[in-house]
């Protein structure tokens, strides 16, 4: 429950960013954002780019979106970050809420840590003043958590110190699903949830009780489940979209322009590809020569759905900013942020949600196909 609530909190925090007042903040948007060791930013820092490096001091919050984010300086407030690789080795006076692929924490955090990623590592030099909530494929804890630890991972390795209770959801029933090092210290109870009971009773590093409960993933609150679906859909598209806005920003803007200027054609190209590709692949599959082509075509169709949805969020977000909010010059990250949220809500509309989502995918995918067909010299 705590994992979902923390992830939903991150989702809500990200949504509010484009509407926060920035008069007392610094806003930086470029390829590389660098805050040198002798630099002191008195307000909040909003940063979006390919690389973000903070070696200096930020007097407020750091809100960042990039492929690579590194913090070795001091952040007086909170850190809210989305990126492929996030590395925090400095001091944070508030909370840290991050979502990425590889997350490495090896510094001092005064309050809570909420980290969600594929690989989450809490290094030896880490000190977390309050609680840590972590979700990922593989979680490693080597530092010092003063409060409680809540982990939802396929693999959790604990070799550090936890001052209060530990709750672990083990999604992997293998022996390495939950490992507690003999040198670790848990000054509280260990409650773990898994499909089968693990042999942990002989571990003397746990001062409290060890309790096992069967992992029941079907026990859900209707409202929280709905909110979780929105948050998960939103963050998934957001994460994929980072590639487009930071690796290929020029092409992303061209796709948006293509959809706005040639809406009918882009919808036509997108719908034709999605509707014809699978039947054509099945026909090819009946011939020996066509089997490899059939596999390639199906793979392209599946990839097209993901890519089309991501581009559709950019198109939708751009329309919201330009037509409704009347803001022309907006960084693609904020466009992606708002577009992802709105499309996530649309997809959950009963009956018509999936139809509208498919139309959006047609628009996004069609904008790519239209651009490739009409401007081959730019590809």
Q: Please report which confidence band the pLDDT of residue 22 belongs to, taking 50, 70 and 90 as the band edges.
A: very low
pLDDT at 25 over 50: no
Q: What are the C-alpha distances in Å from 73 to residues 33, 53, 57, 68, 132?
A: 14, 9, 6, 16, 21
Lowest mean pLDDT among 15-24, 29-38, 295-304: 15-24
Both tokens of 299, joined, read 């793979």
pLDDT at 187: 95
Q: How far apart are CA 144 and CA 154, in angstroms?
A: 22
| Residue-level pLDDT at 27 | 47
> For the chain, which residues make up each domain, given as ranges?
2-214, 222-378
Report the alpha-carbon angle 268-236-89, nearest 5.
Answer: 140
Burial of 277 (0-12, 13-18, 19+ CB in 10 A): middle
Burial 71-100 (b: 16+ CB within 10 A, else e): bbbbbbbbbbbbbbbbbbbbbbbbbbbbbb
Q: What is the pLDDT of residues 327-338, one digit of tens each?
A: 877 878 888 888
Least confident range of 135-139, 141-145, 173-177: 173-177
Under the banding of pLDDT at 50, 70 and 90, the label for residue 272 is very high
Q: What integer is the mean pLDDT of 177-189?
A: 90
From residue 265, give the alpha-carbon distance in Å to each of 14, 232, 269, 363: 34, 31, 6, 9
Q: Output 13 or 265, whichever has higher pLDDT.
A: 265
Lowest mean pLDDT across 8-17, 257-266, 308-317: 8-17
With a pLDDT cut of 70, the percent of the chain lying above it is 84
Structure tokens at 239: 């994460």
Instruction: Please tell me the least confidently modeled range out of 6-20, 186-200, 294-308.
Output: 6-20
Q: Is residue 226 scored above 80 in pLDDT?
A: no
Q: Please identify which residue in the block is written with the tokens 């018509």.
A: 352
Is the model's pTM score more than 0.85? no
Q: Look at 42-56, 91-105, 196-210, 224-238 and tell me which has the smallest mean pLDDT.
A: 224-238
**Ranked by mean pLDDT, which of 76-85, 107-116, 210-219 comes out on top?**
107-116
* 78-111: pLDDT as tens digits: 999 988 899 999 999 999 999 888 999 999 999 9
Give residue 246's pLDDT.
76
Residue 114: its pLDDT value, please? 94
- Confidence check: pLDDT of 196 > 80: no
Region 238-251: mean pLDDT is 82
Best-predicted range by mean pLDDT (103-112, 163-172, 330-339, 350-359): 103-112
Q: Given a cut of 70, is residue 219 above it in pLDDT?
A: no
In percent, the amount of the chain with pLDDT more than 90 equals: 42
The pLDDT score that the predictor gives to residue 121 is 97
Specify the pLDDT at position 191.
Answer: 93
Banded model confidence at residue 276, pLDDT cuts 50, 70, 90? very high
Q: In the prediction, which pLDDT does 71 show?
A: 98
What average pLDDT does range 23-44 have in this prediction?
Answer: 74
**How sure is the predictor about 21, in pLDDT bands with cuts at 50, 70 and 90?**
very low
């Amino acid at each position: 429950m705590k994992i979902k609530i923390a992830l939903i909190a991150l989702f809500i925090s990200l949504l509010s960013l484009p509407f926060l007042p920035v008069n007392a903040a610094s806003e930086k948007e470029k390829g590389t954002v660098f805050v040198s060791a002798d630099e002191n930013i008195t307000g909040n820092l909003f940063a979006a780019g390919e690389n973000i490096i903070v070696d200096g001091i930020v007097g407020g919050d750091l809100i960042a979106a990039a492929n690579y984010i590194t913090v070795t300086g001091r952040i007086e407030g909170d850190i809210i970050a989305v990126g492929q690789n996030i590395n925090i080795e400095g001091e944070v006076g508030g909370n840290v809420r991050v979502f990425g692929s590889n997350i490495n924490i090896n510094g001092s955090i005064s309050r809570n840590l909420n980290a969600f990623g594929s690989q989450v590592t809490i290094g030896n030099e880490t000190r977390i003043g309050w609680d840590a909530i972590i979700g990922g494929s593989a979680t490693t804890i080597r530092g010092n958590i003063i409060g409680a630890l809540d982990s939802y991972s396929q693999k959790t390795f604990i070799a550090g110190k936890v001052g209060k209770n530990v709750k672990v959801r083990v999604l992997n029933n293998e022996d390495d699903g939950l490992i507690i090092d003999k040198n670790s210290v848990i000054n509280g109870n260990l409650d773990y949830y898994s499909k089968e009971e693990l042999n942990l009773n002989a571990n003397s590093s746990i001062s409290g009780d060890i309790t096992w409960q069967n992992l029941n993933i079907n026990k859900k609150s209707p409202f929280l489940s709905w909110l979780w679906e929105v948050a998960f859909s939103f963050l998934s598209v957001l994460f994929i979209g980072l590639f487009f806005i930071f690796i290929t920003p020029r092409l992303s803007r061209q796709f948006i322009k293509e959809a706005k200027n040639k809406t009918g054609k882009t919808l036509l190209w997108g719908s034709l590809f999605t509707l014809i590709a699978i039947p054509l692949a099945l026909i090819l599959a009946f011939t020996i020569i066509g089997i490899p082509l059939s596999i390639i075509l199906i793979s392209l169709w599946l990839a097209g759905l993901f890519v089309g949805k991501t581009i559709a969020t950019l198109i939708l977000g751009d329309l919201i900013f330009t037509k409704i909010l009347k803001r022309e010059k907006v960084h693609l990250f904020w466009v992606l942020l708002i577009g992802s949220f709105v499309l996530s809500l649309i997809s959950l509309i009963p009956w018509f949600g999936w139809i509208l989502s498919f139309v959006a995918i047609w628009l996004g995918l069609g904008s790519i196909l239209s651009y490739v067909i009409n401007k081959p010299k730019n590809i």
